[in-house]
């Protein structure tokens, strides 16, 4: 039986060998590589949990507690997300070459992340020739991305009057690759109630930007040379979750609570810091065990001079969601990605008996009972500013609860 480190290296070596030997047929190469990915990721998750790579690797007894550990650690969460995708795609199936190619192109970002996690946190070099995988990018597109990457990596220049910083809704975040690193093309729009497609801005960054909530972003104007002409681009130099206070206030009305959340409140600032550094969602908080939720609530509200408001509404959400009462799915949907237009559209001034006596319009009841074939009330009209639903990506800050 191999050691944990031996399992990681064996899977990595097999992938490297396939990449180096099969260069002419990307479909066949992808089909071969996919079969080793789950072995690699599972061994890395166990390594992260146990910490001693010389121990024998035993999947049956080691993996489940290791996965629970990795889910709670922001720096290892990309591994658990990657593993969840592999479970439903390649774990029990042998795919044809065409779907194998498409999966490898999707998983390439996660392979780069996996390699970086192994280097930064486990101290082992894996997937050393990953850049040799034939992505088949257009040479001009590759050059374009390399120029943008060079601008991103260059030291930022402070413009007159200081950097431009504002709150935006992130509409999408698409990765691209240059020099073995991951960068992002981010589409965003000002975070207010009246936004059209003409307000959208495209920026570039090396930061993992979540599209679940409004965010404060620091922008910098720059330019690259394209065919001898200066092409202006926007760089995102910093990003942090910044849910609009009005979204919390409107959400609290579902429970009959009147709140005055402000961005200057200590409870609000601590929660935004927690969501930024861990890239957890509000739904992750609501789904936590009681002890973990209480610990984070105590940390976030320590030192405030009045009763907490945000965690009170989150506790009210837990009371409904943990018991799977009517209204659970609409609350989960809103907590996963808040948008003020969507939140306001669900409110009505009278309690709804069909939805656990919450102040939610009965027009959202079809979504609560059939979420895969219906919409929450009035959401189709605000789709231009509604962010995509995506999994939360992790970063690491050890000073916050659950963020080590």
What is the band of 54 on the pLDDT scale with cuts at 50, 70, 90?
very high
Q: What is the pLDDT of residues 68-118, one digit of tens each?
A: 999 888 899 999 999 999 998 887 778 899 999 999 999 999 999 999 999
Q: What is the pLDDT of residues 348-396, one digit of tens each?
A: 999 999 999 999 999 999 999 999 898 898 876 544 444 444 333 333 3
Q: How far is CA 295 from CA 70, 73, 239, in A?
A: 19, 15, 26
Determine the length of the chain.
404
Burial 4-34 (b: 16+ CB within 10 A, else e): bbebbbbbbebbbebbeebeeebbebbbbbb
Choose among 145, 135, 76, 78: nearest CA to 108: 135
Cα 239 from Cα 393, distance rounded (Å): 13
Cα 237 from Cα 4, distance rounded (Å): 38
**Averaged pLDDT, 288-312:** 92
Tell me what the pLDDT averaged over the chain comes to.
89
Q: In angstroms, how far is CA 81 from the centroid of its own chain? A: 10
Choose among 301, 227, 222: nearest CA to 261: 301
Q: What is the pLDDT of residues 234-270, one digit of tens each?
A: 999 999 999 999 999 999 999 999 999 999 999 999 9
Q: φ, ψ for residue 63 (rounded to 5)?
A: -75, -45
**91 or 318, greater pLDDT:** 318
- Helix (H) / strand (E) element for 174: namely strand 164-178
Instruction: Enumerate the β-bridge partners of residue 204.
Output: 185, 235
Q: What is the pLDDT of residues 205-226, one digit of tens each?
A: 999 999 999 999 999 999 999 8
346 close to 364: Cβ distance less than 8 angstroms: yes
For the chain, the distance separating the N- and C-terminal CA atoms, rounded to the nearest angstrom, is 31
Share of the chain above pLDDT 70, in %: 92
Residue 95: what pLDDT? 86
Cα 86 from Cα 78, distance rounded (Å): 12
Instruction: Enumerate the β-bridge partners of residue 112.
Output: none
Q: Is 160 exposed, middle or buried (0-12, 13-18, 19+ CB in 10 A)?
A: exposed
Q: In angstroms, how far is CA 4 from the centroid of its own chain? A: 28
Residue 398: what pLDDT? 41
pTM score of the predicted model:
0.84
Q: φ, ψ for residue 212 (rounded to 5)?
A: -85, -30
What contacts 24+ positions apart, CB below 8 Å, involve 143-149? 144/224, 144/226, 145/176, 145/177, 145/178, 145/183, 146/178, 146/179, 147/224, 147/225, 147/226, 148/178, 148/183, 148/204, 148/224, 148/233, 149/178, 149/179, 149/181, 149/183, 149/206
Where do we find the tokens 């957890």?
280
Q: Is 180 helix (H, G, I), strand (E, B) or coil?
A: coil
The token pair that represents 125 in the structure block:
């070099």
Residue 139: what pLDDT? 84
Q: What is the DSSP string of 261-320?
A: --TTSHHHHHHHHHHHHH---HHHHHHS-HHHHHHHHHHHHTT-SS--SHHHHHHHHHHH
Cα 44 from Cα 70, distance rounded (Å): 10
Q: φ, ψ for residue 223 (rounded to 5)?
A: -155, 155
Cα 368 from Cα 345, distance rounded (Å): 15
Q: What is the pLDDT of residues 128-181, one digit of tens each?
A: 999 999 887 688 888 999 999 999 998 866 665 566 789 999 999 999 999 889
The token pair that represents 188 in the structure block:
């965003």
């Amino acid at each position: 039986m191999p050691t944990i480190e031996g399992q990681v290296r064996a899977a990595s070596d097999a992938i490297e060998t396939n990449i180096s030997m099969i260069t002419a047929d990307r479909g066949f190469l992808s089909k071969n590589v996919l079969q080793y990915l789950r072995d690699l990721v599972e061994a890395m998750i166990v390594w992260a949990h146990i910490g001693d790579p010389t121990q024998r690797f035993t999947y049956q007894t080691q993996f489940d507690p290791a996965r629970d550990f990795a889910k709670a650690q922001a720096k290892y969460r990309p591994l658990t997300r990657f593993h969840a995708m592999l479970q439903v795609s390649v774990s029990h199936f042998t795919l044809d070459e065409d779907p194998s190619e498409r999966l490898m192109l999707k998983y390439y970002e996660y392979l780069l992340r996996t390699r970086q996690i192994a280097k930064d946190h486990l101290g082992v070099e894996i997937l050393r020739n990953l850049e040799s995988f034939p992505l088949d990018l257009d040479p001009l597109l590759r050059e374009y991305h390399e120029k943008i990457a060079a601008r991103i990596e260059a030291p930022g220049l402070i413009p007159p009057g200081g950097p431009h910083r504002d709150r935006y809704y992130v509409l999408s975040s698409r990765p691209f690759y240059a020099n073995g690193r991951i960068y992002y093309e981010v589409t965003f729009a000002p975070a207010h109630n009246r936004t059209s497609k003409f307000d959208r801005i495209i920026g570039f960054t090396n930061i993992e930007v979540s599209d679940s909530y409004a965010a404060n972003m620091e922008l910098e104007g720059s330019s690259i040379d394209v065919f001898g002409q200066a092409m202006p681009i926007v760089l995102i130099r910093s990003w942090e979750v910044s849910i609009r206070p009005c979204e919390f206030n409107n959400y609290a009305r579902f429970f009959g609570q009147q709140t005055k959340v402000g961005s200057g409140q200590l409870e609000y600032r601590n929660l935004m810091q927690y969501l930024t550094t861990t890239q957890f969602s509000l739904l992750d908080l609501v789904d936590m065990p009681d002890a973990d939720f209480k610990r984070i609530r105590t940390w976030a509200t320590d030192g405030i001079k009045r009763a907490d408001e945000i965690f009170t509404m989150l506790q009210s959400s837990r009371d409904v969601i943990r018991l799977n009462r009517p209204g659970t799915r609409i609350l989960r949907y809103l907590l996963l990605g808040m948008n003020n237009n969507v939140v306001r559209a669900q409110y009505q001034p009278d309690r709804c008996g069909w939805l656990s006596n919450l102040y939610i319009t009965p027009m959202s009841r079809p979504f609560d009972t059939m979420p895969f074939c219906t919409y929450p009330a009035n959401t189709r009209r605000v789709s231009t500013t509604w962010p995509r639903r995506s999994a939360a990506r992790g970063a690491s800050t050890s000073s916050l609860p659950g963020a080590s």
